[in-house]
Every structure is written in structure tokens, then in C-alpha cells.
């Protein structure tokens, strides 16, 4: 902590010498994790909450004696869009929502000042997004808003059609959601939080990225709260992560049509906390982690054509508990206090999440 404080003082002095304000360093506001449950992101069973706590206690208690959590946001992943449209009831789903995503799980986190959202989609459910948007995008948006109100959660759009996304349908989904839950810059109503996942940089989900930047993530007329720059296909190094995020800040003016720049205050950057059969440093060793090595970039990156304040909103981690059959779970003895938890203390993450910067 002392070394970091010295670093930040030196960084601030350097900014002043370079003609920038020392205030160009901005507090990280979002420090969250996607959560896949114990069954690889299907959430298909009701959890025993004693077992759930044993597997996930590191999230609500970083283990440093403070009693504070390791993250201030958990995104339960994933809701299947077509089932949500049809309000499906089956062996794994209740009214279109995986039965494991229930009020007990939501309360487990919110009772510790951790905001909760549900993610609709994911790469596995892309075709179901296409079908649902084509069949009745407006009803899908209304159903999503009803779930958000019922559980007291926000909604994340994870629509990964890179070649031919149904942007008209997605606009209708957003319109319907906002008809029930208008944009709330204060963040006071958790259900009004509506976000979108974009690619790590600007070379995937191009059509979605162009539409979101131009129409939904403007600081002057915001529609969505913010975007998450997702993880790439493998864990990048420090320069690779920063290069991806810089693409969002800069946009792609050379594309035809171009992609505009995105305000740093309108997106988070994402890193893996599990990369295989061993927990990543991002999970267990903050000093060797990307959330450490990229921290000064995330806190100070300057806008380049959109927005006025320096610094991204923060970090998202992929993913808590058991994300896949080829990956270790973030459960004891591989829980993430030593990486994610230490980062929360280092960056003085606020609980509950404060109102987000708007510019």
C-alpha cells in the first residue's frame, strides 16, 4: 500500500509536469465478477445456501479482517433469451429464469452491499438471442424488466452475434426495458441498471460496437449505463490488455462506416481469474496480477473524442465459482482473496457501489 501511494504521488506529479491535472487519476468504481454457479453457467438447480457460502465466502469477505467483500458487483451468468421470452417452466427454469438465480442467492450478495445483475446470453446462447429478437424483441425486453424488478437486480446484454446482429430487434428490446425502467444515473434503483458486453477491443462484435457507441453509450444522452470490454480468447499481458481497451477509447475512424470513440467513463475492462487447471495470479496473487499492472492505466486513461474525465469505470473478472469443465473452480483452496480481494483493498473499492461517473 505504501509503495502504491508513493507511485501515485509520483504519477500525479508527472501529470502536472506534462500539463495535465493531478485529478486525472480517477477512483475505480466498478470492481465486479461474473458468476457461473457450480454448473458451468447454467444455474440449473436451487443451491443449498450453506454450501453456496462455503464455495463463495471469499466474495463477501476478502479475509483481511475488515469484513468487507472482494467485489462490489456480481453478474449471475447466464439467462437463456428464448426461455425468458417464453417464460419457460421446466426442470431447470422458472418463468424463463434459471432456478438457481433466485432471491436467496441475490440476497446473499446484496446483504453485503454487493450489487447483483443477471446476464442474458453468452456465446452459447447467441442463436437463442437471434430467435428471441426475431420473434418478439419488445416482449423480451418487458420480461427482462419484470425479472429485474422482481429480484431487485440489473440486466446485462451479452449478445455475441458478430456477423449479423439483429440491431433493430435489440433496439426494440432496449426501448421496452427502458419503458418500464428509465435510465437512472444515480444508480439508486438496481433494476434500472442496464448494460452491454462488447468485445475486448474493436475487432469483434463490430456492428454491435458501432451501434452501442453511437446510440446507447453517449454521455450526453445515455441509454445504457455502461459497457464491459469482455475478456479476449486468452489472458493477455499488460500491454495487450491496455491495447484492447485503448481501441474502445480511440474508436476505429478507418473502418467503413467508422466506429466512434467511447468515453472511458462508459466502460470496464475484463480479465480472467481462472485460465485453466490452476487459479490465475489475478485470483490469488495481486502483486503479479493484471489488475495490479494495469491499474494506473485504468485509473488515468484520457478520453480521445468522447467524454471528459480520465479513467475507466473499473474491472470485471471472469468468472467466479465453476466456469467450465476445463477450468479449476474459484472454491477453496483456490478462492480469490489473495488477488481480487487484495485488489479491492488496494483500490479502496466502495461498498455499496457509488453513483457512476456520467462524463
Question: Does the pLDDT at position 5 exceed 60?
Answer: no
Q: In whole numbers, what is the pLDDT of the chain averaged over residues?
A: 94
Q: Tell me whether residue 292 is in a domain.
A: yes
> Total domain count for the chain?
1
User: Is there a domain that residue 13 lies in?
Assistant: no
Q: Is the pLDDT of residue 11 over 80?
A: no
Residue 334 neighbours by CB distance under 10 Å = 17
Q: What is the pLDDT of residue 356?
A: 98
* pLDDT of 140 higher than 60: yes
CA proximity to 310, closest of 19, 6, 26, 12: 26
Say if 355 falls within a structural domain.
no
pLDDT (tens digit, 9 = 90+) per residue, 336-353?
999 999 999 999 999 999
Omega cis (within 30) before 240? no
Per-residue confidence (pLDDT) for residue 293, from 0 to 100: 98
Please check the confidence at residue 43 and state whether its pLDDT lies above 90.
Answer: yes
| Chain segment 275-327, per-residue pLDDT in tens | 988 889 999 999 999 999 999 999 999 999 999 999 999 999 999 999 998 89
pLDDT at 9 over 80: no
- Identify which of 60, 68, 61, 139 has the alpha carbon closest to the alpha carbon of residue 106: 60
* Model pLDDT for residues 90-129, shown as the tens digit of each residue: 999 999 999 999 999 999 999 999 999 999 999 999 999 9
Query: Vertex 114, ends 39 and 183: CA angle to 5°?
Result: 105
Cis peptide before 232 (omega within 30 of 0): no
* Chain centre distance of CA 243: 19
Q: What is the CATH number of the domain that holds 139?
A: 3.20.20
| 93-94 and 97-98 beta bridge pairing | antiparallel
> 104 has which bridge partners?
none
Q: What DSSP line would sit under 274-290, residue for residue?
A: B-SSSB-HHHH-GGGSH
Give pTM, 2 decimals. 0.93
Residue 220 in any domain: the answer is: yes
Does residue 2 form part of some domain? no
Range of the domain at 121: 45-346
Beta bridge partners, 120, equal 79, 157
Q: Establish if 263 belongs to a structural domain.
A: yes
- Whether 163 maps to a domain, the answer reads yes
Widest CA span in the chain:
63
Provide the pLDDT for residue 279: 87
Supply 120's cell numbers. 442474458
- pLDDT higher than threshold 70 for residue 26: yes
Rounded to whole angstroms, the Cα distance separating 268 from 8 reads: 21
In a domain, 357, yes or no: no
Amino acid at each position: 500500500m505504501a509503495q502504491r501511494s508513493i507511485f501515485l504521488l509520483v504519477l500525479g506529479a508527472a501529470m502536472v509536469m506534462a500539463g495535465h491535472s493531478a485529478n486525472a487519476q480517477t477512483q475505480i468504481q466498478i470492481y465486479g465478477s461474473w458468476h457461473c454457479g457450480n454448473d458451468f453457467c447454467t444455474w440449473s438447480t436451487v443451491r443449498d445456501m450453506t454450501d453456496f457460502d462455503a464455495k463463495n465466502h471469499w466474495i463477501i469477505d476478502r479475509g483481511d479482517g475488515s469484513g468487507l467483500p472482494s467485489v462490489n458487483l456480481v453478474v449471475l451468468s447466464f439467462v437463456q433469451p428464448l426461455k425468458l421470452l417464453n417464460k419457460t417452466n421446466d426442470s431447470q427454469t422458472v418463468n424463463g429464469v434459471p432456478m438457481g438465480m433466485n432471491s436467496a442467492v441475490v440476497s446473499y450478495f446484496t446483504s453485503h452491499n454487493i450489487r447483483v445483475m443477471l446476464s442474458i446470453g453468452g456465446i452459447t446462447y447467441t442463436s437463442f438471442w437471434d430467435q428471441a429478437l426475431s420473434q418478439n424483441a419488445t416482449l423480451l425486453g418487458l420480461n427482462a424488466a419484470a425479472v429485474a424488478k422482481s429480484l431487485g437486480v440489473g440486466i446485462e446484454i451479452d449478445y455475441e452475434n458478430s456477423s449479423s446482429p439483429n440491431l433493430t430487434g435489440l433496439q426494440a428490446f432496449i426501448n421496452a426495458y427502458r419503458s418500464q425502467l428509465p435510465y437512472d444515473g444515480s444508480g439508486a434503483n438496481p433494476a434500472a441498471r442496464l448494460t452491454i458486453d462488447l468485445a475486448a477491443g474493436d475487432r469483434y462484435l463490430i456492428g454491435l460496437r458501432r451501434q452501442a457507441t453511437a446510440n446507447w453509450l453517449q454521455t450526453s444522452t445515455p441509454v445504457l449505463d455502461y459497457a464491459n470490454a469482455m475478456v479476449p480468447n486468452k489472458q493477455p499481458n499488460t500491454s495487450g490488455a491496455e491495447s484492447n481497451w485503448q481501441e474502445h477509447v480511440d474508436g476505429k475512424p478507418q473502418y467503413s462506416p467508422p466506429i466512434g470513440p467511447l468515453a472511458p467513463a462508459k466502460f470496464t475492462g475484463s480479465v480472467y481469474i481462472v485460465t485453466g487447471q490452476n487459479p490465475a495470479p489475478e485470483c490469488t496473487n495481486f502483486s503479479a496480477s493484471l489488475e495490479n499492472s494495469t491499474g494506473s492505466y485504468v485509473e488515468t486513461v484520457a478520453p480521445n473524442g468522447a467524454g471528459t474525465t480520465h479513467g475507466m469505470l473499473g474491472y470485471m473478472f471472469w468468472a467466479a465459482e465453476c466456469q467450465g469443465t476445463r477450468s479449476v473452480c474459484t472454491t477453496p483452496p483456490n478462492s480469490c482473496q489473495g488477488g481480487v480481494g487484495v485488489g479491492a483493498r488496494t483500490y479502496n473499492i466502495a461498498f455499496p457501489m457509488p453513483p457512476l461517473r456520467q462524463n
